[in-house]
């Protein structure tokens, strides 16, 4: 497996591909997936080793204001990261940070992937099915805005527990990851994780790509009913794959064979 790092408009992207994909000094893959992480997740190359092959390559993206990327870590910048990353990959060329030389790539299909926290920014970003064949989400945190959360959880205790955990987790990020997520201490994140940020309300464009969701039935952090509610209220054509005896675990949700069948 080969690995390159790019910096484009303050966004850092790692590119994982196979030597077997290289032809005429260009990376040529049937499917390229652009991956957006959860919080405080950082994906290393070990995750992609058994997923990359001649026909499959991945970009792993760092949100603006996080880890290797520049700028400030804000909700709006998370959505902007999705849009700018897709713009970069669509350009099919980039300057490698290692040797400052250009590398090119091509693909038949471009897909987006996102885990957990990535759900809402990815779904809320302005992207088109003309560019993206499918959006694949794993245990996504889709609904944060309180009016939407109340519709699918309904039970007051469950709603209170959801926001109690969300705010507890935010405080953990502030204590442990304030240097990795530069802006996490901003009060706007308190507003977001307490369900009071109106911009997190999901409004989907008719031109948005098809959505595929993998969600564990034993997920105690993000209830799988949120994915069913998304299908019912936001995108009836979305495919929801519920997995027995699996919690909030990307490795167990990431089923390469099933993904290839669905795309």
Please tell me the predicted confidence (pLDDT) of residue 57: 98
Instruction: Summarize pLDDT for 31-61 with one digit per residue, the tens.
Output: 999 999 999 998 889 999 999 999 999 999 9
Cα dihedral 75/31/90/103 (nearest 10): 110
Are 108 and 163 a contacting pair, CB within 8 Å?
no
pLDDT(154) > 90? no
pLDDT band at residue 14, thresholds of 50, 70 and 90?
A: very high
- Domain chopping of the chain, boundaries: 2-143+203-262
Please tell me the predicted confidence (pLDDT) of residue 255: 93
Residue 22 per-residue DSSP state: E
Cα maximum dimension of the chain: 60
pLDDT(140) > 90? yes
pLDDT(189) > 90? yes
Residue 209 per-residue DSSP state: P
What's the rounded mean pLDDT across residues 134-143? 98
Which has the closest alpha carbon to 197: 102, 74, 108? 74
Please tell me the predicted confidence (pLDDT) of residue 174: 98
CATH (residue range 2-143+203-262):
3.40.50.1820
């Amino acid at each position: 497996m080969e690995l390159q790092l790019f910096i484009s408009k303050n966004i850092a992207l790692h590119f994982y591909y196979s030597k077997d994909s290289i032809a005429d000094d260009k990376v040529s893959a049937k499917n390229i997936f652009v991956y957006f992480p959860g919080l405080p997740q950082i994906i290393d190359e070990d995750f992609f080793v058994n997923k990359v092959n001649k026909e499959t390559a991945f970009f792993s993206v760092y949100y603006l204001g996080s880890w290797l990327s520049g700028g400030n870590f804000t909700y709006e910048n998370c959505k902007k990261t999705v849009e700018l990353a897709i713009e970069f990959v669509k350009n099919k060329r980039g300057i490698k940070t290692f040797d400052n030389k250009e590398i090119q790539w091509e693909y038949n299909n471009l897909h987006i992937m996102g885990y957990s926290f990535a759900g809402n920014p990815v779904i809320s970003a302005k992207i088109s099915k003309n560019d993206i064949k499918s959006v694949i989400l794993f245990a996504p945190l889709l609904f944060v805005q309180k009016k939407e959360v109340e519709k699918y959880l309904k039970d007051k205790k469950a709603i209170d527990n959801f926001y109690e955990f969300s705010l507890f987790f935010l405080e953990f990020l502030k204590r442990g990851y304030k240097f990795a997520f530069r802006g996490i201490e901003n009060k706007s994140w308190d507003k977001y994780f307490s369900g009071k940020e109106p911009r997190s309300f999901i409004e989907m464009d008719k031109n948005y790509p098809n959505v595929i969701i993998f969600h564990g039935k034993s997920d105690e952090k993000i209830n799988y009913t949120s994915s069913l509610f998304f299908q019912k209220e936001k995108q009836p054509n979305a495919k929801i794959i519920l997995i027995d005896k699996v919690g909030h675990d990307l490795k167990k949700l990431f089923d390469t064979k099933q993904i290839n069948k669905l795309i």
